[in-house]
Structure 1
């Protein structure tokens, strides 16, 4: 549609202001990770890498902070497990809702979407109460002590999978909806088994969506706090560890150093997802 030069300049100015507003907190958080000060605030006291590599207090760096590294390792482990389970379940759901017709399909689809609109705290409390109820019943009536139903990493995985499966399902189903089923029929007519068609025709087509769904699930899992906080045990992931540090010690530049690492890691994963999607545009 035709527009005046003034409107174009207003639109460009709006875009610039929007991105400045979006990026400024990230830039500030990253800058204070290199400030030679015990507090993440102005004035600027010089450039330093101590908050990344410092060997001792009061400037104990990230790579020497055992608790933060342990939390990062827990988050990495939880994210990988949750992402794999969510992609597997999401792929199954995508085929179920896109390829099959059955009674109450619409109702089940709505139930699958519901976890996205439930606040994370409420979801975490509900999962904790249900798991505790089942674990207590098994302990009292059957004499079984089911540890994975108690607060800890297994319960965190269960809680995160409950809503991340919805996200992966939507991502994979959107790709599956564009698939030409005639390709599968042609392979079947040429004598290929259904398993071979799935492995050589369908899944390769879905791979960009599978990879993107895995990346999205991993990033959401890694930064999740609300649900994780309710279900956490002795092995705390990074978000809970950082929150605990903030409450007990207060904000320190080492937390800004963690933020820099997370921003770089998230950016690289997002870039990888974009690059994986590029070939599909010409398919």
Structure 2
């Protein structure tokens, strides 16, 4: 039904539902944002006045996030992990997309389902499974060869491996959806004109996939950056930002500096998501 065909009561109910739904989504974000600028050591009412101390102040008790070495170290670890695991996931996801879209092979459907399984497994279970499996292999190598493979112990390398296990599924699905829209006649025409397969791939197919590759990278980076459940099981001494914030909450309690970090992350995530939409729209 169009708006003109609906009764006034139905229009009112529809409008109220939309307003309530979006308020439900945005209210927690607004609350976190507001208390990031509250001139108080507690993230709660009453309002004590506007301040930027929780971002830029360099002294206690209002040490800002840009002067908090532990939070900055966690931010750096998250960026480092996110870039590496996203690049690996996009590379593997591109290969998977070509495999499942362009090729037929035995047990293809079963293997496709197996690829999607990590998305439906709870993050904690996935993290524990990866930790147990990696520790078993590391212990076997240590006992058999006398070599301690530190990259299989809790730490950044194991976090990368753990996140890679489910981020590759996401990037594979994003890139495969774009590849299915590709007109194979373009490749066939280039091959008939004498271009080699590698040149066709580099000049025709991959440029067509650029929006999906970029979007897949952005999605993988954002998911990696905010991941908590899986990462918690695999973390070592170099904790990413989500684990650092959780540890701060447990030991110190909620402080406005965590709200400031939340505002920073919301703005960064929003800009990345907007950039991804722009790239997709301009290259569609």
Same fold (TM over 0.5): yes
C-alpha displacement at 1:23, in angstroms?
0.5
Choose from 117, 124, 128 the match for 1:125: 128
**Cα distance between partner residues in 2 of 1:11 and 1:158:** 46
**Cα distance between partner residues in 1 of 2:87 and 2:58:** 36
2:71 paired residue number? 68
2:248 paired residue number? 245
| Residue ranges of structure 1 left out of the alignment (5+ in a row) | none
1:163 paired residue number? 166
**Cα distance between partner residues in 1 of 2:229 and 2:111:** 26
- Alignment of 1:229 with 2:229, yes or no, is no
**Cα distance between partner residues in 2 of 1:23 and 1:249:** 27
**Cα distance between partner residues in 1 of 2:70 and 2:195:** 53
**Cα distance between partner residues in 1 of 2:135 and 2:104:** 36
SS at match of 2:182: coil
Structural mapping, 1:43-82, within 5 Å: 43-82=46-85
- Alignment of 1:84 with 2:121, yes or no, is no
Choose from 34, 39, 53 the match for 2:37: 34
C-alpha displacement at 1:15, in angstroms?
1.2
SS at match of 1:234: coil
C-alpha displacement at 1:20, in angstroms?
1.0
Moved over 3 A (4+): none
Return the TM-score normalized by structure 1.
0.98
RMSD of equivalent CA atoms: 0.8
2:276 paired residue number? 273
1:177 paired residue number? 180
Q: Deviations over 1:219-276 (max 9, x none)?
A: 0000000000000000000000000000000000000000010000001001000100
**Cα distance between partner residues in 1 of 2:277 and 2:54:** 31
1:4 paired residue number? 6
**Cα distance between partner residues in 2 of 1:86 and 1:179:** 21
C-alpha displacement at 1:199, in angstroms?
0.7
- How many pairs align? 281
SS at match of 2:204: helix
C-alpha displacement at 1:14, in angstroms?
1.1
C-alpha displacement at 1:145, in angstroms?
1.1
SS at match of 2:45: coil
C-alpha displacement at 1:9, in angstroms?
3.1
**Cα distance between partner residues in 2 of 1:253 and 1:279:** 39
**Cα distance between partner residues in 2 of 1:246 and 1:4:** 49
**Cα distance between partner residues in 1 of 2:216 and 2:11:** 36
C-alpha displacement at 1:12, in angstroms?
2.3
Q: Deviations over 1:167-198 (max 9, x none)?
A: 11111100000100110111111111111111
C-alpha displacement at 1:142, in angstroms?
1.1
**Cα distance between partner residues in 2 of 1:249 and 1:260:** 20
Return the TM-score normalized by structure 2.
0.97
1:100 paired residue number? 103
